[in-house]
A and B are shown apart, each in its own frame.
Chain A
Amino acid sequence: MNLETVLSIQRLTKNFGKLCAVNQLDLEVKRGQVFGMLGPNGSGKTTTLGMLMGVTHPTSGSFTWFGEKPSHLTRKKIGAVLEHPIFYPYLSGQKNLELNAMIKGADPNNIPKVLEMVELSSRKNDKYRTYSLGMKQRLAIASALVSDPIILILDEPTNGLDPMGIAEIRQIIKRIAADGKTIILASHLLDEVQKVCTHFAVLRKGKLMHSGPVDDVGKGEETVEVMAFHDDLSIYLQEFVGSASIKREDGLYQVMMKDGFHSQDLNKFLFENGIITSHLVTKKKSLEKQFLEILSEAH
């Protein structure tokens, strides 16, 4: 992977009166990452993105896009939708995109392509105000893509959508990510971030709580769920050198593994002792669990 830095944030801070919305935030996003910004509502995600996109003035701190000082010219290279889709309600989808293309200095010939990508071609001549919420969200993604940007910023892109709409948007995001674009995705939906992101950061009350690859989430200790029709199963489980602790839950044994031991080691050990398991599941820590841990660590 090319590790060129796309976005670098240094000690970015924003105060609204007494309220500190973003507090000394440091963050790096590298090319090709699908970067999830996680945090409960009101944790400063949108304020941070607003500063990155020039609509909110930082109180202090700085950031660079592509190693350059931010300006309206760097913004043209970024496709961004903050909070909710914003368009002229009396203009058609097509005309709205034409206007976006004019502002971004993009080739208007891209418009049919991006409309096709978000499956809005058949409704492009209808006025924006007649669109459903899902169509509005999709048009927003189309407008962000119209200049063929290097980086895409999406803020809660599935907010308020029905399950089908959510699935559609996820498909689109995955397709865009497969094209090698860098994506910053702000969301409070953990499952969404786990499904589409490669990296993530957790914000809480404007402070960065954690930042790292999504793949690391499942690493570390592992829990194995075991069941076998054997009277002395619990004794054998305790004898196994790799088990840190054993719990019985819902008729199944939950074996917390020591570092470096995995379910296959346990399986092998039991088999060698003549026990054949009827149930063996490796449970990795979900992002949700980790997220709640990170948030609770703070207080």
Chain B
Amino acid sequence: MSLLHLVKVDLKKMTSYRTFWVICGLYFVTLGFTTASGMEILKWIAGKFQDFGSEININRIPLYHFPDIWQNLIWVSGLFKIVLSIMVVISITNEYQYRTLRQNIIDGLSRWELMLSKILMNVLLSLMSVGMLLVIILFTGLIYTPDLAWADIVTGSEFLLAYFLEVFAFLSYALMLGMFVQRSGLTIVLLLLSNMIEAIIKLNVFRFGIENSFGWLKQFFPLESITNLVPLPFPRYAFQEIQDSVSMVAVLIAIGWAILFNYFSYLRLKKADI
């Protein structure tokens, strides 16, 4: 079956499902509004300060200036991927709950095709996020940047690729969790707690002073590797040094995890009697 056909199969399942539209709608609307309205919020804060007699020059904080805008907006967008991942969890746990996964296979889908249709859906959702952000960044960047220079616009655009990987790897993680747990409520709770659970594990592994010699291992943890793709940019406005480019090592680790997540999901599907 062609890849396009597999995407269509999964879209057919989702496009008449109201929850899908509600969650995706919420995701894209909040993502769009939040990222596009940062400057307005900043203006509003400055206005409030003015009421109290102090001055903030918002042009001194180039949030929406090329090239800063890439990393700024993409980092903020990364916070919203949890919403999309809940949609992915619902989509896969529904299939277990309704037992439609079983019927799909009886009807003649291979387990690999089923897996692929879910992976391709994740690719599609990630691409849509990237596309939406690209449009918002170009629009707001062109509006707010005072002195436009072509080089500045292109610089930092590599974060868009990192963002794709960030969303896709996280959705792959959500899919895997859904396939192993199979119940939507429990999966969503685990998904929300994942970062905390990983932090606790790291805390326990790296105590007793091995932090210094083995601290570099932290970047290999799955959720940390996804976070590391787009580092927090804002301390730079408080005169702190930040990493303002995509790290190749982070990309490779995240790709590794994305492959592993999907591979584990496939193994699970392949081995199970469903």
Residues on A lying within 8 angstroms of B by beta carbon are 50, 53-57, 71-73, 75-76, 78, 80, 82, 86-92, 95, 98-100, 102-105, 143
Contact = CB atoms under 8 A, between A and B. Distances in A.
Ranked 8 nearest A-B pairs via Cβ: A76-B108, A72-B110, A86-B103, A75-B108, A103-B107, A56-B273, A53-B106, A86-B99
30 contacts: A50-B273, A53-B105, A54-B106, A55-B102, A55-B105, A55-B106, A56-B273, A72-B110, A72-B113, A75-B105, A78-B108, A80-B106, A87-B98, A87-B100, A87-B103, A88-B17, A88-B100, A90-B17, A91-B13, A91-B16, A92-B16, A95-B12, A95-B16, A99-B13, A100-B107, A102-B12, A103-B9, A103-B104, A105-B108, A143-B107
B105 A72 contact: yes
Q: Pick from A75, A92, A104, A143 the residue with the most CB of B within 10 Å.
A: A75
B191 to A, nearest CB: 22
B108 A102 contact: no
Contacts of B9: 99, 102-103
A86 B107 CA distance: 11
Contacts of B107: 75-76, 80, 100, 103-104, 143
Interface of B: 1, 5, 8-9, 12-13, 16-18, 98-100, 102-110, 113, 271, 273-274
Contacts of B99: 86
Given A54-B105, A54-B106, 8 more contacts: A76-B108, A86-B102, A88-B98, A92-B16, A99-B12, A102-B12, A103-B107, A143-B107
Nearest to A16: B273
A159 B229 CA distance: 55
A56 B272 CA distance: 8
B131 to A, nearest CB: 26
B16 A72 contact: no
B98 A102 contact: no
Nearest to B103: A86
Contacts of B273: 50, 55-57
A56 to B, nearest CB: 5
A92 B16 CA distance: 9
B145 to A, nearest CB: 46
Contacts of B13: 88, 91, 99
Q: Tell me the interface secondary structure of chain B in the complex.
A: helix
A72 B98 contact: no
B106 A75 contact: yes
A72 B100 contact: no
Nearest to B272: A57
Contacts of B109: 72, 103
A100 B8 CA distance: 12
B2 to A, nearest CB: 11
B108 A86 contact: no
A27 B1 CA distance: 32
A89 B108 contact: no
Q: Pick from A86, A89, A105 the residue with the most CB of B within 10 Å.
A: A86
A149 B103 CA distance: 16
A50 B17 CA distance: 28
Contacts of B5: 102
A69 B18 CA distance: 41
B3 to A, nearest CB: 14
A72 B99 CA distance: 18
Given A71-B110, A99-B13, A86 B98 contact: yes
A267 to B, nearest CB: 53
Given A102-B5, A103-B9, A86 B110 contact: no
Contacts of A105: 1, 108
A88 B100 CA distance: 7
A20 B1 CA distance: 36
A82 B106 contact: yes
A50 B274 CA distance: 9
A103 to B, nearest CB: 4
A105 B13 CA distance: 16
A89 B105 contact: no
Contacts of A98: 12
A96 B13 CA distance: 9
A102 B273 CA distance: 24
A75 B102 CA distance: 13
Contacts of A76: 107-108
Q: Pick from B5, B9, B108 the residue with the most CB of A within 10 Å.
A: B108
A58 B271 CA distance: 11
A145 to B, nearest CB: 12
B259 to A, nearest CB: 24
B18 A90 contact: yes
Contacts of B98: 86-89
A100 B109 CA distance: 10
Nearest to B1: A105
Q: Pick from B13, B99, B106 the residue with the most CB of A within 10 Å.
A: B106
Nearest to B95: A88
A71 B111 CA distance: 10
A71 to B, nearest CB: 7
